[in-house]
Chains A and B, each alone.
Chain A
Amino acid sequence: MKQVRISIIGFGSVGQGVAEVLMKKQDYLTKMGLDIKVIAISDSKGSFINQNGIDLNSALEQKRQKGTVANVQKTGVEIINEIEHDVVIETTPTNIEDGGVGLENMLASFENGRHVITSNKGPLALKYKDLVDTANLSGCKFKFEATVGGAMPIINLIKGVLAGNDILSIQGILNGTCNYILTRMLEEEASYEQMLAEAQERGIAETDPTYDVEGIDAACKLVILANSVFDMDSTYKDVDSVGITKITPESMLLAYNDGYVTKLIGEVRNGKLSVGPRLVPVGHPLSVGDTLNVASVQTDLAGPVTITGRGAGSIETASAILSDLIAICNNDN
């Protein structure tokens, strides 16, 4: 049995999802010969440490009841620096101004020789090359499937299954909130404002929806894709992005009558990154509805390959983190 000691830094929706998934899949992991021990969990109020392995069920229970797992006044970065372990699961909230605490956590992990798995887009959308170079220098693995499209395994698809293919372009729907709003606008012939309110009511859009509806979230994901697939060194500021706030239901109907649906599409082509509303022919693989994400990769050998999946949700995102964790444990690249 291979023992792998991990920390979960950031215990919000995704971090808790990881804990739940690890409990749910314990037998599966044991069968694979993996003994995953969570030795520390950090949230914004402090940390919970148990060198023998934390009982995840009671940690989740405590989080639900008290709003924090903290029993010691230690920050995430202190855990990373002071407690011996193998893999850091970095699930703090995204900060796209300067990378925030996530960036600090990742760099500290590499300095201490710990592998990093993250769902945190901010640091990657700002400092991708620095992070990858630091990881390589320290001989650490750096996996971030969960940053792009939640459960939709686009990065591992390209890097793993499609290895050997030249990737010519990628286009897709990378934000579930926008997809939901646009899908509902057409269904109900209702305004953007009305369907945003509905999405907020259903917990699909945040109270301040700017990050999603202005295309910033999609731009961050596109940057991570472009950097990791095309070895670029772009930041989200290099993306020509337009959001969905100006789209009218009348325009969507006009387009639909001629066989098109309106979608917020992110695209990397010839080194150019763009996010903006585009017309997608009805029935085209990219014309998925609801909160789904989708990406179409154009390759030289395999032709176009399209995958779709749930772009958000704590368990869905935790699924991507788990697959990265298993890959690291199995020493896959």
Chain B
Amino acid sequence: MRVSMDLELKDIPGQLLLALQPISDLKGNLISVVHHHEKHTPRGTIPVQIVFEIDSEKLDNLISRLEDSGVSVVRVGEERFLEHCAVIIIGHIVHTNIQDTIDKIDSTGFAEVVGLTLSMPRVNQPSSAFLKIDATGKKELNEALSLLKNVANKKDLLVIEPIETQFI
């Protein structure tokens, strides 16, 4: 699992290593460290934000190791969805059962529809929807999108995706 954590370190040398060592010891994979060395909390400590990947069963162990060595763990959050995407759908969205379209994506377990804005100008006219989809990774997001396109194709809906802005 991918975890983000807010830590507070004492303002003395060697504290950052103290915070990162247990992650490495537990075979975690560090993704980012933001070290606000110039900032101090009202408690005189230095805030640090880290993101890493680790087996979920090792997380409790990690937190207690950190606390034992004097590092305060202020917040722990699971970063489940790393990829976000918005798509437009045009057609008889409601009549063709939008709930079913959303369910198809939600039931994958790796992607979810997290936002929906619908515009229905008139009865019998095509509606437009703006759908926000989150997924656990890039591959999963692409999979969710092809699933969506598949469903849309069967229901004669037009799907408009964003352009690929990051070139591969």
Contacts and interface: CB of A to CB of B under 8 A. Distances in A.
Nearest to B132: A258
B167 A278 contact: no
Contact of B158 (A242, A267, A286): A242
B73 interface: no
A254 B117 contact: yes
A277 interface: yes
Interface in B95-120: 117, 119
B163 A280 contact: yes
Q: Which of B87, B129, B160, B162 has the most CB of A within 10 A?
A: B160
A94 interface: no
A246 B164 CA distance: 22
Given A262-B88, A277-B158, A255 B130 contact: yes
A251 B88 CA distance: 7
Contacts of A171: 163-164
A250 interface: yes
Contact of B86 (A169, A247, A260, A276): A260
Contact of A251 (B128, B161, B163): B128
Contacts of B119: 248, 250-251, 253-254
Say which size band chain A's interface belongs to: 20 to 34
A168 interface: yes
B165 A246 contact: no
A304 B167 contact: yes
Contact of B162 (A257, A267, A281): A281
A279 B86 CA distance: 9
Contacts of B165: 281, 284
A45 interface: no
Contacts of B129: 251, 254
A159 interface: no
Contact of B161 (A254, A278, A286): A278
Q: Which of A260, A279, A280 has the most CB of B within 10 A?
A: A279
Given A279-B160, A279-B162, A246 B167 contact: no
Interface string B139-168: 000000000000000000010111111011
A273 to B, nearest CB: 14
Interface of B: 86-91, 117, 119, 121, 126-130, 158, 160-165, 167-168
21 contacts: A242-B158, A248-B119, A248-B126, A248-B128, A250-B121, A250-B128, A251-B90, A251-B160, A254-B128, A255-B88, A258-B86, A260-B162, A262-B88, A267-B163, A276-B160, A278-B162, A278-B163, A280-B163, A281-B165, A284-B163, A284-B165
